[in-house]
Amino acid sequence: MAFAIIWIVVFHMKLVTGIAGLDKLINIGYAGSDIFYFVSGIGIWFSLEKSGDILLYYKKRLLRIMPMYWIFMCFWIPFRVAFFEMKPLYVGLNVLGIAGIFDIGEGFNWYISFLILFYIVAPLIKWMMDLLPGPTALLFIFALFFILGYVLVDDPDVMIGITRFPIFAMGMHFGKRMTKKEDGRFSVPEVIFWLLMIPVGIGLGLYFGGDFLKSWSNGLLWYPYILSTPGICMLLSMIFAPLPDWVSAPMDFIGKHTLSIYFIHVFFFEIYEKYLLANGFIEPEAWQWFVILAAVVPGCIVLELLTHLVTLPFLGGDKD
């Protein structure tokens, strides 16, 4: 999760290092979202397997995302209304968290809208995976959403999310596999296979990314990362798991606070690019990004403190 949010933040910064290979990896930083959905899928499987109480599951998911999201909206929506004259209808869609699935151009971000949608349908996915043998349900989901994305969907805001449904389902499939194994581990050949898929997925992503608009319209901008994401997660786990706590602690800390980092960095970057730069109030300088990143830290602290105060009466000590 920490690696994913760092990759996404650097991508949103449009950072250019002058190192060709590194710049190419930065330019596909949107693949960090696939890591988020994959890991979320694993966690959702464990959550559903642990309880079986669908209403409790929805309550926990709601408390995990929506309080922080709504508190954040109290800052973001006034900014959009004041400086971009957001219409009341769009305000309502953003408050509900569904603006990202409509082609309105006024949604905060597509990621949250589809995460909510995926959480809603996750029990159905689990039911299918429990009912059908092996990876049958996963293959059905792959085929269905490839058809939806390639043939039926022409809205870019919907396309960017619907093409991530397979990687979320794959995460749930991995969660299922892990719960069926006594120690939760995959075999050595399986791990080797997924590690070998890292350059394949990234290579295909870079290839199709060469024609950005065309690959966006048919989903091929994102589908390749279905191949590379599991291997990336395995590789990161193998790298950090044996390290002493003091070495991995910074990444652990970032990983636990990805949601607030995600909200705040998008908001601050938006203020910088769409307001300050767009209106000519300042001239772009490289050092300004470091100031913005430094401001993200206190922004996250404030957002998380407010969220804690709001949700504390409802959690009752249960932080799952």
Q: What is the pLDDT of residues 66-89, one digit of tens each?
A: 999 999 999 999 999 988 888 888
d(CA 77, CA 66): 15
Direct distance between the N- and C-terminal alpha carbons of the chain, in angstroms, rounded to an integer: 17
Is 201 a domain residue?
yes
pLDDT score recorded for residue 77: 93
Give 261-296 pLDDT, tens digit per residue. Answer: 999 999 999 999 989 999 899 998 888 999 999 999
d(CA 118, CA 231): 22
Q: 54-63, 91-100, 288-297 — which one is most confidently predicted on average?
A: 288-297
Give percent of the chain above pLDDT 90: 55
Is 68 a domain residue?
yes
pLDDT score recorded for residue 187: 87
- Whether pLDDT at 62 is above 90: no
Average pLDDT over residues 39-59: 89
Average pLDDT over residues 142-171: 83
d(CA 25, CA 291): 24
User: pLDDT: is 314 or 239 the higher one?
Assistant: 239
Nearest-CA neighbor of 259 among 203, 300, 211? Answer: 300
Give percent of the chain above pLDDT 70: 95
d(CA 5, CA 9): 6
Average pLDDT over residues 233-258: 91
Lowest-confidence pick of 48-52, 205-209, 232-236, 264-268: 48-52
pLDDT score recorded for residue 236: 94
Average pLDDT over residues 303-307: 94
Is 225 a domain residue?
yes
- Whether pLDDT at 182 is above 90: no
Give 5-31 pLDDT, tens digit per residue. Answer: 999 999 999 888 888 888 999 999 999
Residue ranges making up the domain that contains 222? 2-315
DSSP sequence for 114-182: HHHHHHHHHHHHHHHHHHS-TTHHHHHHHHHHHHIIIII---HHHHHHHTTHHHHHHHHHHHHHHHHSS
At 134, the pLDDT band (50, 70, 90 cuts) reads confident
Is 299 a domain residue?
yes
- Whether pLDDT at 320 is above 60: no
Is 224 a domain residue?
yes
The structure tokens listed for 15 are 């950072």
d(CA 149, CA 143): 10
The structure tokens listed for 295 are 């401001």
Residue 106 buriedness (CB in 10 A; 0-12 / 13-18 / 19+)? middle
Is 229 a domain residue?
yes
**CB count in 10 Å sphere of residue 288:** 14
d(CA 273, CA 289): 11
100 and 113 in contact (C-beta within 8 Å)? Answer: yes
d(CA 167, CA 149): 14
Helices 32-51, 225-240: axis angle to 10 degrees equals: 80
**Sequence-separated contacts (24+) of 57-64 with Cβ below 8 Å:** 57/123, 58/119, 58/120, 60/318, 60/320, 61/119, 63/311, 63/314, 63/315
Is 301 a domain residue?
yes
Give 30-40 pLDDT, tens digit per residue. Answer: 999 999 999 99
Is 320 a domain residue?
no
CA distances from 103 to 5, 106, 157, 280 (A): 25, 8, 6, 28
Give 193-219 pLDDT, tens digit per residue. Answer: 999 999 999 999 999 988 877 788 888
- Whether pLDDT at 153 is above 70: no
**CB count in 10 Å sphere of residue 56:** 14
Nearest-CA neighbor of 119 among 140, 98, 143? Answer: 98
Average pLDDT over residues 172-200: 88
Which residue carries 């996915």 as its tokens?
125
d(CA 178, CA 127): 17
The reported pTM is 0.91
pLDDT score recorded for residue 138: 92
Q: How many domains does the chain have?
A: 1
